[in-house]
Chains A and B, each alone.
Chain A
Amino acid sequence: MPVDTRRDVRTRSGPGRRRRQVLPAVVLGGALALTGCSSGAPSALDPAGSGAGRVANLWWLLFWLSMAVFAEVMAVLAWALLVRRRPGTRVRHGQPLRFVTVAGAGIPLVILVTVYAVGLRDLAALGDDPGPRAPTIEVTGHKWWWEVRVQGVDGATANELHIPVGEKVRVRLRAADVLHSFWVPQLMPKTDLIAGEVRETWLHADRAGSYRGQCAEYCGTQHAHMAFLVVAEPRKDFDAWVARLAAPAPAPRTDAQRRGQEAFVQGTCAGCHAIRGTGAGGRIGPDLSDVGSRWSIGAGAVPNDGGHLGGWIANSQTVKPGNYMPPQPVDAGRLPDLIAYLQSLK
Chain B
Amino acid sequence: MSTTAAAPAPGASREDLAALEERWGERPSLRSWFGTVDHKRIGRRYLVTAGFFFILAGLSALAMRTQLARPESRLLSPQEYNQLFTMHGTAMIFLFATPMLFGFGNFLVPLMIGSRDMAFPKLNALGYWVFLFAGLFMWASLPFGAAPNGGWFAYVPLTERTNTPGLHMDVYSLGLLFLGIATTAGSINFIVTALKLRAPGMSLNRVPLFVWAIVATAFMVIFALPALNLDNAMLFLDRRFGTHFFDPGAAGNVLLWQHLFWIFGHPDVYIIVMPALGIVSAVLPAFTRRGVVGYPLIVFAIVAISIISFGVWVHHMFATGLPRLSYSFFSAASTIITIPSGIQIFAWLATMALGRVVLKVPMLFLIGFVVTFVLGGFTGTMFALTAFDQQVTDSYFVVAHFHYVLIGGAVFPMLAGIYYWLPKITGRMYHEGLGRWAFWLVFAGMHVTFFPMHLYGLFGMPRRVYTYRSEPGWDGWNLVSTAGSYLLAIGLLLVLIGVLHAIRRGRPAPPDPWGADSLEWSTDSPPKPYNFPVLPRVHSLHPTWDEASRESMGAGATRDRILADGRRTLLTSELDGSRERVVEMPEASLQPLVLALAMLVFFTAMLVAWYPVAAVAAVAVAATIAVWLWPPRRPERELGVQP
Contact = CB atoms under 8 A, between A and B. Distances in A.
B388 A73 contact: no
A100 B320 contact: no
A62 B354 contact: no
B353 interface: yes
B385 A62 contact: yes
Interface of B is mostly: helix
B590 interface: no
A108 B454 CA distance: 23
A91 B356 contact: yes
Nearest to B337: A112
Interface stretch (B4-12, B75-83, B195-203, B273-281): B75-83
Contacts of A126: 387, 390
Most chain A CB inside 10 Å of its own CB: which residue of B157, B375, B465? B465
Contact of B480 (A32, A105, A221): A32
A125 B288 CA distance: 49
Given A103-B346, A109-B339, A191-B319, A28 B455 contact: yes
B495 to A, nearest CB: 23
A26 to B, nearest CB: 13
B448 A32 contact: yes
Contacts of B460: 41-44, 183, 185-186, 212, 214
Interface in B290-316: 290-291, 293-294, 297
A99 B321 CA distance: 41
Contacts of A125: 387
A40 B472 contact: yes
A11 interface: no
A161 interface: no
Contacts of A32: 448, 451-452, 480
Contacts of B454: 28
A127 B324 contact: yes
A104 B158 contact: no
Contact of A194 (B290, B297, B321, B456): B321
Nearest to B480: A32
Interface in B302-361: 319-321, 324, 327-328, 331-332, 335-336, 338-339, 342-347, 349-350, 352-357, 359
For chain A, the bracket of interface size reads 35 or more
Contact of A35 (B293, B336, B476): B476
Nearest to B86: A218
Given A84-B357, A101-B297, A112-B338, A36 B387 contact: no
A230 B236 CA distance: 39
Nearest to A109: B339
Given A35-B480, A73-B374, A96-B293, A104 B254 contact: no
B347 A100 contact: yes
Nearest to B458: A44
Interface in B341-396: 342-347, 349-350, 352-357, 359, 367, 370-371, 374-375, 378-379, 381-382, 384-388, 390-395
Contacts of A70: 374-375, 378
Nearest to B444: A31
A33 B479 CA distance: 11
Interface string A303-334: 00000000000000000011000000000000
A126 B463 CA distance: 23
Interface in A70-101: 70, 73-74, 76-77, 79-81, 84-85, 89-97, 99-101
Interface in B107-163: 150-151, 155, 157-158, 163
B459 interface: yes
B378 A100 contact: no
Interface string B65-87: 00000000000011100100000
A192 B464 contact: no
B163 A177 contact: yes
Contacts of A54: 387
B462 interface: yes
B370 A69 contact: no
B635 interface: no
B349 A196 contact: no
Contacts of B375: 66, 70
Contacts of B77: 321
Nearest to B297: A100
B387 to A, nearest CB: 4
Given A85-B357, A101-B297, A181-B394, A123 B451 contact: no
A89 B388 contact: no
A100 B78 contact: no
B163 A105 contact: no
Nearest to A185: B460
B624 interface: no
Interface in A260-308: 300
A119 B476 contact: no
B388 A116 contact: no
Interface in B44-99: 77-79, 82
Most chain A CB inside 10 Å of its own CB: which residue of B319, B452, B477? B319
Contacts of B342: 103-105, 108
A218 B158 contact: yes
B385 A216 contact: no
A201 B129 CA distance: 50
Contacts of B291: 93
Interface in A41-81: 41-45, 52, 54-55, 58-59, 62, 66, 69-70, 73-74, 76-77, 79-81
Interface of A: 28, 30, 32-33, 35-45, 52, 54-55, 58-59, 62, 66, 69-70, 73-74, 76-77, 79-81, 84-85, 89-97, 99-101, 103-105, 108-109, 112, 115-116, 118-120, 122-127, 143, 177-179, 181, 183, 185-186, 189-192, 194-197, 199-200, 212, 214-224, 300, 321-322
Closest 7 A-B residue pairs measured CB to CB?
A36-B476, A196-B248, A35-B476, A119-B385, A104-B346, A189-B390, A42-B460
5 contacts: A36-B476, A37-B473, A105-B342, A112-B381, A119-B331
